[in-house]
Amino acid sequence: MEKKRELEYFNIEKSYGGNQRWMRDWWMHIGGCAALTTCDMLIYCALHRGRPELYPYDLKNLSRKDYKKFGMHMKLYLQPRKGGIKELSTFMDGVSLYLDDENAGYIKLRALDGHESFDTAKRALKEQIDEGLPAAYLMLKHQDKKFDFFEWHWFVVNGYEEKEDGFYIKVATYGAAHWLKLDELWETGFDERGGIVFFENV
């Protein structure tokens, strides 16, 4: 039986979520995906989970200008670096420090390592989306060239669809939405894997 769930998200001007290409800081422009994925997660929670304190600017008028300021502040906690933020623990440490500094330590983070089974990842993402919360996904290298756009990249998962031919997830990155088949995405063909970080208690 087919089932589809898409979370209500947000637009900044004509962009579906934030867009890394807006960043004028060189490091953030090429490697700010971890910081900006965090920004997008927090904007979502501010808008749709009743947590306005998570976004320090005007929620009623989301703008590129404010988003870029938010991203540059998050850079202090998730500093882009050579090789990227490729460990779930590094990402979680940075996000946790930011949340503590902003008196938002009630948000808890949970990691799902990329070496877990596809079924485990599918179940965890379904449960998260059904709870009304997106997730932060890290993909590193992938053998399938159709995923080149998503290599070495953090992005938001904010929906899923169960179809006859497989389980698809809706992801937001670079100001656009994409539907990706999870079993193909999850089985990267490399030993070095990414994974998923879940924000909880929001």
Number of domains composing the chain: 1
**The domain containing residue 86 runs over which residues?**
3-200
pLDDT tens digit string along 22-64?
999 999 999 999 999 999 999 999 999 999 999 999 999 999 9
Short-list 193, 92, 101, 196, CA closest to 140: 193
Which helix (H) or strand (E) segment holds residue 58: the answer is none
Short-list 175, 158, 196, 170, CA closest to 47: 158
Say which CATH number the domain at 45 has.
3.90.70.30
The pairs formed by 123-129 with CB atoms below 8 angstroms and a separation of 24 or more are 124/196, 124/198, 125/157, 125/160, 125/169, 125/182, 125/196, 126/160, 128/157, 128/198, 129/5, 129/7, 129/157, 129/158, 129/159, 129/160
Bridge partners of residue 171, in order along the sequence: 157, 178
- Reported confidence tier of residue 2, pLDDT bands at 50, 70, 90: confident
In this predicted structure, the answer to whether residue 1 has a pLDDT above a threshold of 70 is no
- pTM exceeding 0.95: yes
